[in-house]
Each structure stands twice: as structure tokens, then as C-alpha cells.
Amino acid sequence: MQTPTLKLLTLFIVFFGLYGCSQEKQPGLFFKNVKDGDVLSSPINLEFGVEGFELAPSGSIGERVGHHHLLVNCDSIMNGLVIPRDVNHIDFGNSETQGTIELEAGSYLLTLQFADGTHRSFGEKMSESGEITVK
């Protein structure tokens, strides 16, 4: 026989368990293995993560569909602008979730930026930046 306290506790756990599962995750972009202030050696292996958006190759179209770009010594690109392709703007348009870069010794700002199938930025809300030092 269950006591009233045990019944209440069971209901509480079930309710908040279901409530937590039903909540839509907030969109976000992040480095999985590098954080602001890290001191690293080159080559640098980076891992990328995304929540609330679907990861898909360049050319894929959808409201919350896109792929990663890595910006070296650049802040996030404004929403709707096309991210250029050059040595400071690296496109991971094949849905990659990791990449390796080589950097000389020094300090760098790394910005992970998410963009749609036509390389248009989703803006600051879908970017993550951090400063690293390469020794």
C-alpha cells in the first residue's frame, strides 16, 4: 500500500519527467571539445555541435536546416549575409561535425557559425566564439 507522500512523489516525478521531455530545446551552436581560454597545439581537432536545427549538406533547404562554418579571427556574420569562403572562413558544407585546422603559434578568435544551404548566416544567435592560444 502506498502512502499519500509516496503517491505525491510519484506524481511529481512523472509530471516533471514528461514536462521536461516535451520542452523544445533552444537552438544553439557549440564547440564540443574546445572552450574559451584553451591553450592548444597545432594541428587542432575541432568538434562541432548543434541543437534545435537540422544538420544537412550545402544546398539543403529548410527553415531550421544548415551546416557549420568556422571563422578564424572573425566575429559572427550578421543574419542573412552570405559567409565568404577563404582562409578565414572555412565551410563544412558536407555536414561535417568535426574538422582539423593548422595554426601558427599565437592567439586566435574561433567562431563557429551556422548557415543555411546557400551559406546565409543564421546570425549571432547561431554562433559560438572563443579565444584560444596556440603554442
pLDDT in tens, 117-133: 999 999 999 999 999 99
Q: Write the pLDDT tens digit of every residue in 57-103.
A: 999 999 999 999 999 999 999 999 999 999 999 999 999 999 999 99
Residue 2 clears pLDDT 80, i.e. is over it: no
CATH of 25-134, one of 3.40.50.1820, 1.10.8.420, 2.60.40.10, 3.40.50.300: 2.60.40.10
For residue 74, CA distances in Å to 15, 38, 60 come to 45, 18, 25
Q: What is the pTM of this model?
A: 0.81
Rounded Cα distance, 51 and 38, in Å? 23
Query: What is the pLDDT, as a whole number, of residue 27?
Result: 86
User: Is the distance from CB of 38 to CB of 130 less than 8 angstroms?
Assistant: yes
Pairing of strands 89-92, 39-40: unpaired
Q: Write the pLDDT tens digit of every residue in 17-38.
A: 555 554 566 889 999 999 999 9
DSSP 8-state symbol, 125: G
Start-to-end CA distance of the chain, whole Å, equals: 65
Rounded Cα distance, 112 and 25, in Å? 19
15 phi and psi, to 5 degrees? Answer: -60, -55
Q: Is 77 exposed, middle or buried (0-12, 13-18, 19+ CB in 10 A)?
A: buried
Rounded Cα distance, 17 and 70, in Å? 36
